[in-house]
Structure 1
Amino acid sequence: MPSSHENDGIKLPRLQHVSLSIKSGSQDQIRAFYSGLLGFQEKQAPASLAARGVVWFAAGVGEIELHFVPDTYLQRSEEARHFCLEVSDMEAYRNALKEAGYQIIEAEPIPHRPRFFTIDPCGNHLEITTILGDYTQA
């Protein structure tokens, strides 16, 4: 499948973010810990998600991020706990996953970041995205 990086001539997806569930109302504690103590820079969350109380931090070069999602946002906290892969051809991944019998779960839109979720054989949620531009410039 096409993707973002190469390893011995094989293109691989790139880890884009890790998302974890937090208790609703604990955003200030998360900010104090990850920004105040550990030094991560908080990022503006997309407008489509910001009203839900999500907190995002830059976690490295190339838009690697940590996302924290209040447990009231999703019905099941395991949906909030996931990692995201950035790929160059999202539809190729969507088609390959469908053909292999994996469920495709459509996601709430973020400007310039088409995305969907799937669930691996052990029940872990995985987000697949392609970054087409800056979500804050929509």
Structure 2
Amino acid sequence: MTYNFKKIDHVQLAAPVGSEQQAREFYGKLLGFKEVEKPEALKQNGGVWFKAGDVHIHIGIEHSFRPAKKAHPAILVANLDTLKYRLRMYGINCENDDKLPGAKRFYVEDPYENRLEFLERLE
């Protein structure tokens, strides 16, 4: 039997108890992701799910929450500079990084201090 990987279905990031509204503000209103209704059997766990194009981010509630400072999703973006401008308008610090050949990218922290990478390939 053989198998092959197709793509990552979603990325789950942890958040503290009771922080769903912060997720809606950051991922929904600021970044422009659409909220996706969780299946009924999973709603009791808390958290909130988002989607933008093929990018799916699930915010999961963790009782002993600690932010992911190194591990992170890397989200491919068209018009990266426009996103950076928008984030900076809302006071979000964008940490530029030019170490990846063939790409421009920057890092931000979500409201829970989880690291996020946004990048655009230079082709």
TM-score (norm 2): 0.48
TM-score (norm 1): 0.43
